[in-house]
Structure 1
Amino acid sequence: MPKITETAIEVDPKLPVIRMTRDFAAAPEQLLRAHTDPELFARWVGPEGMDTRIDHWDARTGGSWRYVSARDGEEYWFRGTFHEVRPDRIVQTFTYEGEPDGVALETLWFEDLGDGRTRLRAQSLVDSFEDRDMWLRSGMETGVDEGYAKLERLLADGTV
């Protein structure tokens, strides 16, 4: 199985889906914690130069979350619900409040590759191909890559 060191982002030609894959030098439990601990999540999510503040965070099956990312006086609010949180996957909704009608259903899988490595696979199902393409044009790839690079640094220095 080849090692994926940067985030591979793919679209499905038949469904309005975005799929992302990235390998981390971490155990699945560490990646789960990074995605469910609000203080850790705020430290790595999003592009460089953005400050993230958690409004509320209840990372359990049936819980909800809301946070804001800010830079240069501009704020971007996001919210969702955790439909399922378990050791090997998270299922949640994701909404950018600037486009409140656009709700994505996201699934994250934490696949143990052995030898202290985990493959994170994520899938976002959106309402339409137009919404999917708008997400891709929004700079999402930069935010994902830079955010996961921050997460890798937190893993390497033992924070997570």
Structure 2
Amino acid sequence: MGAVAVELYNLGHQPGFFYMEHSMGLASSAGLGLALCLPGRKIVVLDGDASVLMNLGTLSTMARYSPHNLTHVIFDNESLLSVGGFPSATSTGTNLALVAKGAGVKNTGLYSDIEGFQGAYDEAANRDELSVLVAKVKAVGPTSFAMDIGLLENRFEFARHIKDLRSE
């Protein structure tokens, strides 16, 4: 999604990365589907606070199915950075870790320092249970939202990657 997708892309594209462009709010739903279809693989969703706020119902659905292999990381910059930087509901008190907990997710946490987040992420990566981690971050985005991979190219590359995983 927006800034999160571009930041991930800028770290170095991999065939297993799928950038949910032009579908704000749906990264969590796609990740849930992948986790349920690929129970032997660890699935990590990188999301933004405004995106999660647009599809809060997914947290309840995640809790209902509770895939053991899903970690949902939410970068909370308290804004809609990708579309102008307008404040999100987290800027006025909404705590997405508590929302996830209230939806039924057992392993949740809100982190405002890198050390705390890193420790929680490492635990989640080694845990065989659904986790939702919210990292408070500054509202600083990429200097450009351009990526050298097109939407269709990414779609087909990712689909081939998933097909290969399923045949292993």
- Verify same fold: TM over 0.5: no
